Amino acid sequence: MHRPVLLVIAHGSRDPRHAATVRALSRRVRSLRRGVRVETAFLDFNAPSVTERLDRLAEEGIREVIALPLLLTRAFHAKSDIPAVLREAAARHPLLRIRRAGVLGPSPLLTDALERRLHEAGLTAADKASTGVVLASAGSSDPEALAVIAGVAHAWQRSGWHTVRPAYASAALPRTEDVVRELRGLGVRRVAVAPYVIAPGRLPDRIAAGARSGGADVLAEVLGPAPEVARLLLRRYDEARTAERADDVRYAVSGGPA
């Protein structure tokens, strides 16, 4: 049975760890679904660009691609620049069907991945009730994205943590270090910082610096190629395969549903 190419679209970064982590995640996705071709592209800083990758796929005669934004919320990149790049590619390659998958979050698989990273950092199930968690994301000026992060924190707290509070590395407040200090001031016995980001880079480094300056007891790694994240990519891929034609970028080009 024909399966569309899965094109994972990451933001990109001057930090080489970013692209390496994204490619490691793509490799894990391939290992979980051997029959699906998985390609990677970047919006900025890294190669190949989204345009270059789609042009190459069209040259190869590929007829269907599912473009999956490696994003945790629907903010600027999901609403603006990724759709624009995909529309331009669809206009250049009328024989290439491009379907746009949804962003990754929110999802229970992401909170499972956060739990994994905290466990790897040294926390156990017995620590949950006495630990306050700072859910530290990159940040956004988009109210919808901020509401999603707040909702994730609220839902995750119900799994047994003493408290879970959101924090942001840019574009919004509070900062990671401020929330760490707030929880410490409230008498929380242990404070952990859980980066709600996919790959390393400037903003994740800012989160880590805030955790250290605020005096956090535990700092987890970024989500990276966690198995739960790889499974989530495949879930979004499968959802896009069965979605209505409104997810087909060709219709947005022709003036129909976007």
One CATH from 2.60.15.10, 3.40.50.1400, 3.40.720.10, 3.40.50.300 for 122-219: 3.40.50.1400
- Does the N-terminal peptide bond of residue 48 adopt cis geometry, omega within 30 degrees of 0? yes
One CATH from 3.20.20.100, 3.40.50.1400, 3.10.150.10, 3.80.10.10 for 5-104+226-253: 3.40.50.1400
Q: Provide the residue type at 169 as one letter.
A: A
- Does the N-terminal peptide bond of residue 106 adopt cis geometry, omega within 30 degrees of 0? yes
| CB-based contacts of 125, cutoff 8 Å, min separation 6 | 160
Return the beta strands (E) in the chain as ranges: 5-10, 38-42, 64-69, 97-100, 131-137, 163-168, 190-195, 218-219
Q: Show the tokens assigned to 154.
A: 């609220």
Domain with CATH 3.40.50.1400 in the chain: 5-104+226-253, 122-219
How far does CA 100 lie from the centroid of its chain? 15
Each residue's pLDDT, cut to its tens digit, for the chain (258 residues) gives: 589 999 999 999 999 999 999 999 999 999 999 999 999 999 999 999 999 999 999 999 999 999 999 999 998 778 889 999 999 999 999 999 999 999 999 999 999 999 999 999 999 999 999 999 999 999 999 999 999 999 999 999 999 999 999 999 999 999 999 999 999 999 999 999 999 999 999 999 999 999 999 999 999 999 999 999 999 999 999 999 998 654 577 544 433 333
Q: Show the tokens assigned to 5.
A: 């190419």
Angle at 61 (CA atoms; ends 58, 64), nearest 5 degrees: 70
- What end-to-end distance do the CA atoms of the chain give, in Å? 27
Cβ atoms 163, 128 nearer than 8 A: no
